[in-house]
């Protein structure tokens, strides 16, 4: 059963179309990954779904309520974890939760129970009386989540909740997402970290240039490129002499990503081109450390469909 229905949503800023007739349905109980490069329209879509912005056309229905007709009914079902930290730094974690709980109509014994539950889920019980300005970045991110879930929303929207934090905090947040889902919440999760999306999401939509270009389970998306090879070439020196455009001219190459230490190349499975790739690199003085065939993953799908890195 669909908890969220987004129908023909279009949004323009001036002459620029930021969302182009977006339609999707998210079932109750899903952890729905929304991925795309910067500027793809993810945050705009989230702002429209939460009622922060109006769309130019289309409709959003959440829990059976039309956002434009009954905005308060929709908003009371949503917990939003924004990309930017939204906390009061000069007061304690508990006081922050108390404030946001009041906004959702919680009070008395129920408020205290929900605060304790949110602190428990996010692993912050022992920090409840500590002021937020003494928190690490990862702890602030976790408290950001706690404030969004204290009212037990049916839908939790997490916009880049693990950006810029340490590995331990990231792992704790991912475990929190799984726990919240098991407790009955439907979750929309945006991230630039493909491994996170692969680990926690039941379905994924890939956005690019304001459109949804692919949607399905991770397995279904992977099946779209099961005829490809993924080659990772570790290099010691010479990354600045490599042209992604030139490698793409080699027969069979579909997509290329180059950083300081690795060249990642996706090629058609029925075309042997390793010798030409190695020749290209050696002719430019690139020092190769090792070559490894990789099993295609969600990042491979993304590069193939968009031709762009996720952070482009």
Which of 222, 252, 286 is where one domain is finished?
A: 222
129 and 258 inside one domain: no
193 and 89 inside one domain: yes
In a domain, 68, yes or no: yes
What's the full length of the chain, in residues? Answer: 312
26 and 148 inside one domain: yes
Classify residue 292 as exposed, middle or buried by CB count within 10 Å of its CB (0-12, 13-18, 19+).
exposed
238 and 188 inside one domain: no
Query: Which pLDDT value is given to residue 59?
Result: 96
In a domain, 265, yes or no: yes
Cβ atoms of 262 and 163 closer than 8 Å: no
Total number of domains constituting the chain: 2
In a domain, 67, yes or no: yes
CA 147 distance to own-chain centroid: 19
Task: Of 203, 201, 197, give the one whose Cα is nearest residue 220.
Answer: 203
* pTM, to two decimals: 0.81
> For 260-273, what is the mean pLDDT?
90
> For 61-82, what is the mean pLDDT?
94
Query: Which pLDDT value is given to residue 227?
Result: 78
98 and 178 inside one domain: yes
Backbone angles phi, psi at 98, to 5 degrees: -60, -45
Backbone angles phi, psi at 32, to 5 degrees: -100, 115
Q: Quick check: 310 pLDDT over 60? A: no
Q: Quick check: 311 pLDDT over 80? A: no
> For 187-198, what is the mean pLDDT?
92
In a domain, 301, yes or no: no
If pLDDT is split at 50, 70 and 90, which confidence band does 167 have? confident
206 and 291 inside one domain: no
218 and 231 inside one domain: no
Cβ atoms of 12 and 167 closer than 8 Å: no
3-state SS assignment for residue 301: helix
34 and 180 inside one domain: yes
> For 76-103, what is the mean pLDDT?
93
- Between 193 and 26, the more confident residue is 26
Query: Which pLDDT value is given to residue 196?
Result: 92
> For 20-26, what is the mean pLDDT?
95
Q: Quick check: 312 pLDDT over 60? A: no
3-state SS assignment for residue 54: coil
Cβ atoms of 62 and 4 closer than 8 Å: yes
Domain of residue 111, CATH code = 3.40.50.300
> How many Cα atoms occupy the beta-carbon half-sphere of 295 within 13 Å?
3
Cβ atoms of 46 and 157 closer than 8 Å: yes
In a domain, 205, yes or no: yes
Q: Quick check: 65 pLDDT over 80? A: yes
Tell me which residue range forms the domain holding 239: 227-295
In a domain, 117, yes or no: yes
In a domain, 149, yes or no: yes
79 and 204 inside one domain: yes
Which of 222, 257, 284 is where one domain is finished?
A: 222
Query: Which pLDDT value is given to residue 309?
Result: 56
Q: How far apart are CA 257 and CA 236, in angstroms?
A: 16
Beta bridge partners of 157: 80, 188
In a domain, 306, yes or no: no
Domain of residue 277, CATH code = 3.30.70.1340
Per-residue CA distances from 62 to 7, 11, 50 (Å): 11, 19, 10
Q: How far apart are CA 135 and CA 250, in angstroms?
A: 50
40 and 178 inside one domain: yes
49 and 109 inside one domain: yes
Which of 222, 243, 278 is where one domain is finished?
A: 222
Q: How far apart are CA 72 and CA 77, in angstroms?
A: 9
Q: Quick check: 104 pLDDT over 70? A: yes
Q: Quick check: 184 pLDDT over 50? A: yes
152 and 197 inside one domain: yes
């Amino acid at each position: 059963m669909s908890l969220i229905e987004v129908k023909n949503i279009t949004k323009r800023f001036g002459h620029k179309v930021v969302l182009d007739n977006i339609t999707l349905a998210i079932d109750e109980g899903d952890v729905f990954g929304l991925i795309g490069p910067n500027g793809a329209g993810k945050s705009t879509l989230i702002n429209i779904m939460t009622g922060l912005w109006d769309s130019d056309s289309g409709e959003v229905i959440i829990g059976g309520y039309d956002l434009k007709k009954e905005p308060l009914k929709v908003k009371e079902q949503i917990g939003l974890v924004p990309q930017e930290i939204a906390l009061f730094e000069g007061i304690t974690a508990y006081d922050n939760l108390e404030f946001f709980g009041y906004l959702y109509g919680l009070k008395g014994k129920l408020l205290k129970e929900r605060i304790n539950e949110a602190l428990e889920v996010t692993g912050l019980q022992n920090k409840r009386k500590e002021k937020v300005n003494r928190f690490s970045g990862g702890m602030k991110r976790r408290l950001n989540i706690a404030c969004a879930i204290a009212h037990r929303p049916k839908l939790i929207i997490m916009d880049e909740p693990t950006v810029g934090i340490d590995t331990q905090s990231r792992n704790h947040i991912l475990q929190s997402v799984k726990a919240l889902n098991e407790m009955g919440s439907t979750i929309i999760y945006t991230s630039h970290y493909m491994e996170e999306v692969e680990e926690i999401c039941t379905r994924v939509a890939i956005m690019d240039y304001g459109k949804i270009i692919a949607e399905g389970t991770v397995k279904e998306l992977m099946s779209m490129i099961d005829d490809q090879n993924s080659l990772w070439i570790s290099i010691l020196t010479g990354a600045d002499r490599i042209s992604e455009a030139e490698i793409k001219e080699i027969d069979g190459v579909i997509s290329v990503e180059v950083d300081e230490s690795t060249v990642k190349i996706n090629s058609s499975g029925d075309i042997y081109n390793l010798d030409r790739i190695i020749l290209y690199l050696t002719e430019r003085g690139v020092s190769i450390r090792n070559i490894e065939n990789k099993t295609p993953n969600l990042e491979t799908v993304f590069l193939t469909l968009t031709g762009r890195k996720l952070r482009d």
